[in-house]
Amino acid sequence: MSLTRAEIVRARRMQRRDSQPLLERASLNVGLRKAASEPQMVARNPEVERRHAAQSAVRPRRAHYLKLAEDGAQLRLPVLPALSVGARLVSGLLAAACIALLYLMASSSAFIVSEANLQGAQRLDAAAVNRALGVAGASVFAVQPDQLLALLHQQFPELERVSISVGFPAGVTVRVLERQPALAWEQAGLLVWVDAAGVAFTPQEDGESLVHVTALDAPPMMKTDEYGRHQLLRREMVSAIQILSQIAPQGAALIYDPALGFGWNDPGGWKAFFGQDGSDIVQRMAIYRSILAELAERRLTPTLVSVAELHAPYYRMDY
């Protein structure tokens, strides 16, 4: 009886195994079990671990076959690779889109400012405001409202309040509130307007209807504000001028002296002064009239009558 080839190979394996010592076979089995129980070595390099993780995440696409009508005939369909869109690709596309959008907005004529729109002005010229701002022909993204606001306050002290707003695609709106002049102040041949708060600014038109004051000398210097606007008078001084303009004789020109305060050139030929503010003006006028009555009885014509100090009035015959 002849043996098959498979039986001959199996018999040789059994013969080799039986000829191996028992101790060696036991140690071999222990070694195999130990190797199976030991943990697999892993790489500690972050780059290698990241590469292995990326490779394990990509699963191979299985091939698909389409059965045909005949038995055993199949048609293999093409398989497209699985694409993985990462966060870096998405962020890169977003950054490129933003850069393209910014370039389009900066170069497009739709975002170029033609001129600033002035609102609320009664005497201020819109052309002068646009020349000072210099925004015509500039991109709306280059307009800085804070800087323009400080510029308008410095160059136009006649503005009491200013606000600047920027609108899209290319709108710059300037809203202003102008100071209302309370009097015209003339000093050393220079004429300025002064509002109720005492701020001086350049006249915008003919101010014949305003109270006119001629200063014999400059008033005490006052601090300028954060925009450099000149505070010429205190608010109380402006109020005193308005009061004196109502009680002064017809045709009397109002004057100011730094030492004696406000008064007028009386048509009778003398100067009258009533101090730096309008306090106790009723008593001052009563004292002033009594001094004039006494001088009239004595047939005297003064050159100066001062009630600047309420409790120390005086008159002079030569000034």
Handedness of CA 203, 209, 215, 216 (dihedral sign): positive
The residue assigned the tokens 């498979």 is 6
At 155-191, the pLDDT tens digits run: 898 999 999 999 888 889 999 999 999 999 999 999 9
Distance of CA 274 to CAs 17, 254, 288, Å? 137, 11, 9
Q: Are 121 and 159 in contact (CB under 8 A)?
A: no
For residue 35, which of 25, 43, 27 has the smallest C-alpha distance? Answer: 27
For residues 154 and 162, what is the distance between their CA atoms, to the nearest angstrom? 11
Q: Are 151 and 207 in contact (CB under 8 A)?
A: no
First to last CA, the chain: 164
3-state helix, strand, coil in the chain (%, to 5): 35, 25, 40
Mean of per-residue pLDDT scores for the chain = 82
Long-range residue pairs from 266-271, CB within 8 A, at least 24 positions apart, any chain: 268/301, 269/301, 269/303, 270/301, 270/302, 270/303, 270/304, 270/305, 270/319, 271/303, 271/304, 271/305, 271/319
* Tokens encoding 291: 């001094």
264 or 76: whose pLDDT is higher?
Answer: 264
Name residues whose C-beta falls within 8 Å of residue 141's C-beta, 6 or more positions apart in sequence: 105, 106, 111
Q: Please provide the DSSP assignment of 92-113 as one string.
A: HHHHHHHHHHHHHHHH-GGGB-
Q: Are 75 and 68 in contact (CB under 8 A)?
A: yes
Superfamily of 109-178 according to CATH: membrane protein fhac (3.10.20.310)
62-81 average pLDDT score: 63
pLDDT given at position 23: 47
pLDDT given at position 217: 93
For residues 183 and 211, what is the distance between their CA atoms, to the nearest angstrom? 5
On the question of pLDDT at 63 being above 70, the answer is no
For residues 124 and 126, what is the distance between their CA atoms, to the nearest angstrom? 6
Record the pTM. 0.63
Share of the chain above pLDDT 70, in %: 75
Distance of CA 25 to CAs 10, 29, 91, 153, 209, Å? 18, 6, 61, 102, 127
Looking at mean pLDDT, say which of 75-79, 94-98, 299-303 comes out highest: 299-303
At 195-229, the pLDDT tens digits run: 999 999 989 877 778 999 999 999 988 777 666 66
Instruction: Give the containing element (helix H, strand E) for 140.
Output: none
Name residues whose C-beta falls within 8 Å of residue 64's C-beta, 6 or more positions apart in sequence: 76, 77, 79
At 19-51, the pLDDT tens digits run: 655 445 555 555 555 555 555 555 556 676 777
128 or 75: whose pLDDT is higher?
Answer: 128
Please state whether the peptide bond connecting residue 157 to the residue before it is cis, i.e. omega within 30 degrees of 0: no
Would you list the domain boundaries of the chain?
A: 109-178, 181-316
230-234 average pLDDT score: 86
| Collapsed DSSP state (helix, strand, coil) of residue 67 | strand
| Collapsed DSSP state (helix, strand, coil) of residue 194 | strand
**Class of the 181-316 domain?**
alpha beta
Instruction: Give the containing element (helix H, strand E) for 284.
Output: helix 281-297
Instruction: Say if 109-178 and 181-316 have the same CATH topology.
Output: no
For residues 116 and 171, what is the distance between their CA atoms, to the nearest angstrom? 7
At 248-262, the pLDDT tens digits run: 998 899 999 999 999
For residues 194 and 218, what is the distance between their CA atoms, to the nearest angstrom? 14
On the question of pLDDT at 285 being above 90, the answer is yes
